[in-house]
Amino acid sequence: MGETLYSNVTYVAVNQDFRESKLNLLWTLKTLRVKKLCLLQVHIPFSLNPSSCGLDESEINAIQDSELKTSYDSLYKYRDICTNEGVNEKDVGISLVSGYGVGEEIVKLINQNNIKKLVMGAAANPHYSRGMSITSRKAEYVSQHAPTRCKIWFICKGKLIKTREGSFDLGNPSDSFTELHTSTQNPNKGNDPDKDHSVSNESEADCAPEDYLCPISKDIMRDPHVAADGFTYEAKNIRYWLNIGNDTSPNTGARLAHRDLTPNYTLRSLIKDWLQHHPNYKH
């Protein structure tokens, strides 16, 4: 789910737990001195089966809406930190992505948005120690599977742990790592050209056309609706955006002239046809 996304900004992955990512965000603002950034959070959907949990669908939907609101509230608190540090509010984007694998969703977003700079946690703050390496499985996944064009800073408790340098040399797809300590490393770790190549090919083969993805959730749309900003969104996502009190475009940040939504039947038909021809699409 996104608010004012940029094509070439520094993305900062933040946790719903405000205390966990606050120091990492402050490190980004004070060390990298970014002028435009996007706060990225992966929301793990609340999943229950009405027949097995004893709740009806409306109660489950209410819980899911509450969880989403909590995620948005945390992102707004992070945005306040940015503005307090002198970043213009219009230059702070918000991207809330739903998925069950944090590392996988971050890599997916890097590919979709052509992200070139990312800051994320290397481990939970209590695990910080001098000379540490990455201990977070999601961070390790991102370091191994993110495209090499993306430079990544891995932070813990406001301290730089590792930098994965971005590379645009197509003849040498291996990643370049900068460690802040000396330790014995597996020479093949994070440096498997064949593996990176296969991941890239798989991503390209399974990637739906950008126009078929909701700008908010980055998932393929099933019920596309056009909002007052002229952009098409998944109906439930844009309705939720409006229902929690937003009166601006999730895509541009400009104020919406009205709250009316219009079904995009043409796009719905195109998406349905595309899915029929891509039965192995992962969604």
pLDDT tens for 243-254 read 888 888 888 888
H or E stretch covering 155: strand 151-156
For the segment 215-236, what is each residue's pLDDT rounded down to a tens digit?
898 889 999 998 988 889 999 9
Query: Is residue 29 pLDDT above 60, yes or no?
Result: yes
Most confident of 43-47, 182-186, 255-259: 255-259
Determine the pLDDT at residue 283: 56
Banded model confidence at residue 192, pLDDT cuts 50, 70, 90: very low
Query: Is residue 181 pLDDT above 50, yes or no?
Result: no
In order of their start, the domains of the chain are 10-164 (3.40.50.620), 210-277 (3.30.40.10)
In whole angstroms, give the CA distance from residue 282 to residue 270: 17
**Which burial class, exposed, middle or buried, applies to 258 when counting CB atoms under 10 A from its CB (0-12, 13-18, 19+)?**
exposed
In whole angstroms, give the CA distance from residue 218 to residue 126: 32
pLDDT average, residue stretch 72-94: 92
Query: Is residue 207 pLDDT above 80, yes or no?
Result: no
Residue 103 has φ and ψ, to the nearest 5°, of -60, -45
